[in-house]
Structure 1
């Protein structure tokens, strides 16, 4: 088996980060394991070990062990966690709608309270099921919706009591 001369594996450009001595030793360990398992002949093994010790970049090392088990684990450059962008969690659309309807109860005399409650409950169920974000928005919509509905119920009850008191 002959190894291609410095062609990027999988057609991808080879990483150009400089290899450390530890990186070279890890590649040689993978080569030794491949030789011990009978995956490499002695001549191929010796040629690859020689290339590993003379390799300058991680890309060159990954080419040498790419076709062996326990092949190269892509090395990520060491970046402080402060500079790594956090993955943003998707916000549930119904939670946003519940919060909007809940916020509008002040401007619609409480009429958007019913959609706020319905959307809030639906959103919280979806959030628990899917792990999406927006639980706080759904809860805010629920609270504002229930407050609006409670205010309407209290107002209607007061009108009924007042009507019977006047009769």
Structure 2
């Protein structure tokens, strides 16, 4: 099959990488670079990079697949990460911290949730952080209210 300009460019990139890694001498690189510019088919380009670690470029697509698409195994569906429950509890406690006084549970569950999220690769970090921010704001609010009540 005939090679395109993009195929020649990819082959030259493989040759450049081989030269930069010290796998080709200057003379070898120049000879192969000129041969890549003159190459007409995939076979000629593949022969130029066959001994390099990047290997030959991908073969052209075949007109017929060996196995019909109906019988191919579908790619795995990425599983959603579970949301940390303590992060949600921290968020709820932080939201209600200005009405009642659950700011301490918001802070405790927020910090616990963040450590569990890091350890277990879970979702919900945004809820834990928001719960912590609201918890600290609630703690500052209630501390100010207490100080004003004393004064």
TM, length-normalised to structure 2: 0.50
TM, length-normalised to structure 1: 0.45
